[in-house]
Chain A
Amino acid sequence: MTDTMSPFAGGIVGTPRLRKEDPPLLTGESKFIDDLQLPGALWISLVRSPHAHARIDAIDASAALAVDGVVAVYTGADLEGDWAGPLPCAWPVTDDMKNPAHLPLAVGKANFAGDAVAVVVATSRYAAADGVEGVVVDYEPLEAVVDVRDAASDRLVIHEDCGTNVAYDWELTPDPDGVAAAFQDAVHHVTETYVHQRLIPAPMETRGVAVVPAPHNGDMTLYSSTQIPHVLKVMASLTLGVPEQKLRVVAPSVGGGFGCKLNVYAEELVCMTLANRHGVPVRWTETRTEASTATIQGRAQRQTIELAADADGKLTGVRATLLADMGAYLQLVGPGVPLLGAFLYHGLYDVPVYSFTCRSVFTNLTPTDAYRGAGRPEATYAIERAMDSLAVAVGVGQDEIRSRNFIPTEKFPYDSPAGLIFDSGNYQPTLDRAKELVDWDGRRAEQAERRATGSTMHLGLGISSYVEMCGLAPSRTLAALNYGAGGWESATVRILPTCKVQVVTGATPHGQGHETSWSMIVADRLGVDPDDVEVLHSDTAISPLGMDTYGSRSLSVGGTALWMATDKVVEKARAIAAHMLEASAEDLEFAGGTFTVKGSPDKEVPLAGVAFGAFTAHDLPDGMEPNLEAQVTWDPGNFVFPFGTHIAVVEVDEETGAVELVDYAAVDDCGNQINPMIVEGQLHGGIVQGVAQALWEEAIYDADGQLRSANLADYLVPSAAECIDMKLDHTVTPSPTNPMGVKGIGEAGTIASTPAVMNAVVDALRPMGITDVRMPASPMTVRRAIEAAGGAS
């Protein structure tokens, strides 16, 4: 579908453009953290608890110290005095939230398998790893708490000083009486419980850290494979007591993040403190096995959702309750993850009353935190699965139940029952188009025929219509949610004397293609070639102001700052051009990189002339500063709310339980698109990540809290062989909250795809009486569900 509402006139934005990021990545020229050459650097390797819960009685490092190349070994107790504070949690969602001290190296007790208890410093990575083998830790194993319900019972309290395993209770019920009445009067009352398994984010590049000190002037540079160099600078400075002005944080090329690099980790602080102590660079690269336990995990929630509806299946109330697993400690934004979904358990449906409550508990497992979508995939999963149950209860199709409940287009901006204002939406066309793409009626007929002929290869169709809130976030809203920082973003546009352009952004890309998209925005508006725009980022010395990249925020927040900085620089150029042309600024038009006096087309000056004039400063208007540069920090007034409908078609083999994805359509609306090629790429990857939750991935823990899927042989990140070609289309409903009319797209695919696939799996099996299958729907899980339902054995 075509877009007729774009504010861009330069012919660059809105058309696919190949990425300028690619050549260095394609040739091996890019430098990821482990590629940095740091002569004389010491390597560290962490001694990690093999037990999920254990007292640390004694640590004997003598054998390690005898290893050739090992320089030192430090225990948690040795370094305890180095920390000005524990690892930070920036989101104390309630005033009485329990936040157990989380030291970079555990002291006294390890609380999950993977908790670091000591560090070996050596002259090479091999020697550091050998040293770890030589550290003998005397553990007294304790019983582990691995199940959220067990944790909530407080049968065994993990952090004695907290007195309970409950980190917090949080509720959002604007109209309790209304909710009670809705359920009392409901004709249909659907109650469903779903489990979100733990997921391992698994970016292909693991984490890594390198710290370069300058002992004599006190400077320190922290290189980290992180999504958040700016946030990290503030947090590391507070946690270590390093003067912030002396600290520079650089994220080199980052090989994917998906939320797991949106954190402040022990290894960053340990490398910093050891670089201080030893006065030389100190570095660490995570192994994949370490990444499975020492890097945060995602999801890990039990949810109960209830729908109240009238006789026609029109929703009259939604109530959701959550039991969320924080893991052993609270990470940077972990407690806030359920809150990011808390407003969306009614999905994109028009519901008068709403209630959400969440209890978050500690377990002896790896801490959880933001993973692609963070809260919104969980919310979407609950409502979209439950809508299918409602369709069955009412006796209408899954498509019809949604159409009956979509927020009508004329209600936008929509005051949601959870207290948000949905910016814009037009939901029905996405459902209609997605049905077309998978030949919905044809597939339904095929399904019926297979059932009629007794085929054991069952076809299932699953719909997932979604809306999400992204573009994190209005700072005042974050304050109301007790978040410890703001949600603004910064951009600088600098037109150089030769009319080449430098853009500085506070967003921190790690695969999303900001350099290309940001260049397109500026080039489109300034009338320059995108290749003449250089985008600088990810280094706090170059880009001092920023809030980084997560929550699908870069374009709608950082891009808006960029739009405004471009405006500002054009206004300055206009004033200079007016001076040069002896015209008034209001009489100038700016198009195609040239200022022209309206009505006198021969009176013109190109931007290049203005740029050089601003540089020489020989003849500027009185009082004007030389040079063409503008910086803007923008704090959004609202979130943005992308939406769409995805449909999955699966085939389930009744005999083996194998599920195969046979068709997939996605119709998404992220408002105006800057680079449609990049939008599609984000969707492809996001969809596969969500499908993977439905069908393949799970961090499997045993009863002792041992991770049984700690590497890529056992944790099933899909390969090309399991994936299929997806059919994509889009609609365009611009957001009125920002001048470009854009919304985010980085998480949409993941948010939408998991319930689409699981609805399809359940749709295939529903004639057997199956109403839920636990994720991931592996052959064994599906077979068990079939057997439990009394189906074929």
Chain B
Amino acid sequence: MEVSVTVNGTGRSADVEPRTLLVHYLRDDLGLTGTNIGCDTSSCGACTVLVDGRSAKSCTLLAAQVDGAEVTTIEGLATADGLHPMQQAFHECHALQCGYCTPGMVMAAVSLVDEYDDLDAAGVRVGLEGNLCRCTGYQNIVRAVLAASE
């Protein structure tokens, strides 16, 4: 079936099997491999993208379900002027090591900061509960998200 989405501001479409997951559609059909896969039980958040502005785990959605939607992936955050403020904060706070969780973590954080006005550390920790990182112990991720929320 034909699935059309606006990804990072550009209209894209591809002919896919109806069972194709959004994350595979993005990675394998559109070649946007920045969005990662870390599990098969929707537990890790590595695949987080924005669908119509809100964070979603792209491994829990079928590509068909987002037909016509606006999707933002990690590739859509930085501009010609440089990194998105959340990416910059992750860089400055050393909030990544291997970087595998990072695209999903950054997208979840962008959505979290967008949704809540006065986030504190506890709020960030609970807000990012669905995104696992094995490297950083989260301390610098929390710092980065707070820095970017200011």
Task: Assess whether A720 is in contact with B138, with CB atoms less than 8 Å apart.
Answer: yes
Known: A23-B83, A28-B32. A719 touches B97 (CB 8 A): no
Task: Assess whether A256 is in contact with B98, with CB atoms less than 8 Å apart.
Answer: yes
Which of A170-178, A203-211, A378-386, A393-401 interfaces with chain B? A203-211
Let me know if A510 is at the binding interface, CB within 8 A. Answer: yes
Q: Which residues of A from 744 to 786 have beta carbons under 8 Å from B? A: 749
Q: Which residues of B from 121 to 150 have beta carbons under 8 Å from A? A: 121, 124-126, 128-142
Task: Assess whether B141 is in contact with A204, with CB atoms less than 8 Å apart.
Answer: no
Task: Assess whether A720 is in contact with B134, with CB atoms less than 8 Å apart.
Answer: no
Let me know if B12 is at the binding interface, CB within 8 A. Answer: no
Task: Assess whether A202 is in contact with B124, with CB atoms less than 8 Å apart.
Answer: no
Let me know if B69 is at the binding interface, CB within 8 A. Answer: no
Task: Assess whether A688 is in contact with B77, with CB atoms less than 8 Å apart.
Answer: no
Q: B75-97 CB contact bits vs A (8 Å, 1 = yes)? A: 10110000100010011101011
Other-chain contact of A25, B19, B75, B96, B139 (Cβ < 8 Å): B96
Q: Which residues of A from 475 to 511 have beta carbons under 8 Å from B? A: 510-511
Let me know if A711 is at the binding interface, CB within 8 A. Answer: yes
Chain B: CB-nearest residue to A28: B34
Task: Assess whether A288 is in contact with B137, with CB atoms less than 8 Å apart.
Answer: no
Which of A14-22, A83-91, A562-570, A698-706 interfaces with chain B? A14-22
C-alpha gap A719/B39 in the complex (Å):
14
Other-chain contact of A511, B36, B44, B98, B131 (Cβ < 8 Å): B98
Which of A29-37, A451-459, A611-619 interfaces with chain B? A29-37
Task: Assess whether B35 is in contact with A678, with CB atoms less than 8 Å apart.
Answer: no
Known: A26-B83, A26-B90. A684 touches B137 (CB 8 A): yes
Q: In the complex, how many angstroms separate the beta carbon of A122 from the nearest chain B beta carbon? A: 14
C-alpha gap A688/B141 in the complex (Å):
14
Let me know if A713 is at the binding interface, CB within 8 A. Answer: yes
Let me know if A626 is at the binding interface, CB within 8 A. Answer: no
Q: In the complex, how many angstroms separate the beta carbon of A487 from the nearest chain B beta carbon? A: 24
Chain B residues whose CB sits within 8 angstroms of the CB of A721 once the complex forms: 125-126, 128-129
Q: In the complex, how many angstroms separate the beta carbon of B114 from the nearest chain A beta carbon? A: 18
Other-chain contact of A255, B35, B41, B100, B124 (Cβ < 8 Å): B100
Task: Assess whether B40 is in contact with A711, with CB atoms less than 8 Å apart.
Answer: yes
Chain B residues whose CB sits within 8 angstroms of the CB of A22 once the complex forms: 90-91, 96, 99
Chain A residues whose CB sits within 8 angstroms of the CB of B138 once the complex forms: 684, 688, 719-720, 723
Known: A288-B39, A719-B129. A684 touches B136 (CB 8 A): yes
Known: A32-B36, A681-B136, A712-B41. A510 touches B90 (CB 8 A): no
C-alpha gap A684/B140 in the complex (Å):
9
Let me know if A318 is at the binding interface, CB within 8 A. Answer: no
Q: In the complex, how many angstroms separate the beta carbon of A198 from the nearest chain B beta carbon? A: 17
Let me know if A641 is at the binding interface, CB within 8 A. Answer: no
Task: Assess whether B129 is in contact with A713, with CB atoms less than 8 Å apart.
Answer: no
Q: Which residues of A from 709 to 727 have beta carbons under 8 Å from B? A: 711-713, 717, 719-721, 723, 725-726
Chain B residues touching A, majority SS: loop
Chain B residues whose CB sits within 8 angstroms of the CB of A689 once the complex forms: 134, 137
Other-chain contact of B140, A23, A34, A681 (Cβ < 8 Å): A681
C-alpha gap A678/B97 in the complex (Å):
9
Task: Assess whether B83 is in contact with A685, with CB atoms less than 8 Å apart.
Answer: no
Chain B residues whose CB sits within 8 angstroms of the CB of A726 once the complex forms: 137, 139
Let me know if A512 is at the binding interface, CB within 8 A. Answer: yes
Task: Assess whether B36 is in contact with A512, with CB atoms less than 8 Å apart.
Answer: no
Residue picked from B32, B44, B46, B101, most chain A C-beta under 10 Å: B44
Chain A: CB-nearest residue to B128: A720
Task: Assess whether B140 is in contact with A25, with CB atoms less than 8 Å apart.
Answer: no
C-alpha gap A256/B102 in the complex (Å):
12
Task: Assess whether A253 is in contact with B97, with CB atoms less than 8 Å apart.
Answer: no
Task: Assess whether B137 is in contact with A685, with CB atoms less than 8 Å apart.
Answer: yes
Task: Assess whether A32 is in contact with B100, with CB atoms less than 8 Å apart.
Answer: yes
Chain A: CB-nearest residue to B46: A204
Task: Assess whether B41 is in contact with A23, with CB atoms less than 8 Å apart.
Answer: no
Task: Assess whether A511 is in contact with B99, with CB atoms less than 8 Å apart.
Answer: yes
Q: In the complex, how many angstroms separate the beta carbon of A455 from the nearest chain B beta carbon? A: 23
Task: Assess whether B137 is in contact with A126, with CB atoms less than 8 Å apart.
Answer: no
Task: Assess whether A685 is in contact with B134, with CB atoms less than 8 Å apart.
Answer: yes
Chain B residues whose CB sits within 8 angstroms of the CB of A30 once the complex forms: 99
Let me know if B17 is at the binding interface, CB within 8 A. Answer: yes
Chain B: CB-nearest residue to A25: B99
Task: Assess whether B41 is in contact with A254, with CB atoms less than 8 Å apart.
Answer: no
Q: Which residues of A from 1 to 60 have beta carbons under 8 Å from B? A: 18-19, 21-23, 25-32, 34-35, 37
Other-chain contact of B131, A685, A719, A725 (Cβ < 8 Å): A719
Other-chain contact of B99, A21, A687, A688, A749 (Cβ < 8 Å): A21
Known: A711-B43, A712-B44, A720-B128. A35 touches B139 (CB 8 A): no
Task: Assess whether B34 is in contact with A27, with CB atoms less than 8 Å apart.
Answer: yes
Chain A residues whose CB sits within 8 angstroms of the CB of B32 once the complex forms: 28
Chain A residues whose CB sits within 8 angstroms of the CB of B129 once the complex forms: 719-721
Task: Assess whether B137 is in contact with A205, with CB atoms less than 8 Å apart.
Answer: no
Chain B residues whose CB sits within 8 angstroms of the CB of A680 once the complex forms: 94
Other-chain contact of B31, A21, A37, A681 (Cβ < 8 Å): A37
Residue picked from B33, B38, B98, B135, most chain A C-beta under 10 Å: B98
Chain A residues whose CB sits within 8 angstroms of the CB of B98 once the complex forms: 25, 203-205, 253-256, 510-511
Q: A669-687 CB contact bits vs B (8 Å, 1 = yes)? A: 0000000011011011111
Task: Assess whether B92 is in contact with A253, with CB atoms less than 8 Å apart.
Answer: no
Q: In the complex, how many angstroms separate the beta carbon of A482 from the nearest chain B beta carbon? A: 32
Chain B: CB-nearest residue to A124: B28
Chain A: CB-nearest residue to B145: A720
Let me know if B73 is at the binding interface, CB within 8 A. Answer: yes
Let me know if B64 is at the binding interface, CB within 8 A. Answer: no
Let me know if A191 is at the binding interface, CB within 8 A. Answer: no
Chain A residues whose CB sits within 8 angstroms of the CB of B56 once the complex forms: none
Known: A204-B46, A256-B134, A684-B137. A711 touches B99 (CB 8 A): no
Chain A: CB-nearest residue to B17: A126
Task: Assess whether B97 is in contact with A513, with CB atoms less than 8 Å apart.
Answer: yes
Let me know if A168 is at the binding interface, CB within 8 A. Answer: no
Let me know if B50 is at the binding interface, CB within 8 A. Answer: no
Q: Which residues in A have some Cβ–Cβ distance to B below 8 Å?
A: 18-19, 21-23, 25-32, 34-35, 37, 126, 202-206, 253-256, 258, 287-289, 510-513, 677-678, 680-681, 683-689, 711-713, 717, 719-721, 723, 725-726, 749
User: What would 15 more interface pairs be, CB under 8 Å, given A28-B103, A689-B134, A749-B137?
Assistant: A22-B91, A22-B96, A22-B99, A23-B91, A27-B87, A32-B36, A34-B37, A204-B98, A287-B40, A289-B40, A680-B94, A720-B133, A721-B129, A723-B125, A723-B138
Q: Which residues in B have some Cβ–Cβ distance to A below 8 Å?
A: 17, 19, 27, 31-41, 43-44, 46, 73-75, 77-78, 83, 87, 90-92, 94, 96-103, 106, 121, 124-126, 128-142
5 CB-based A-B contacts, threshold 8 Å: A202-B134, A204-B101, A205-B100, A717-B134, A721-B126
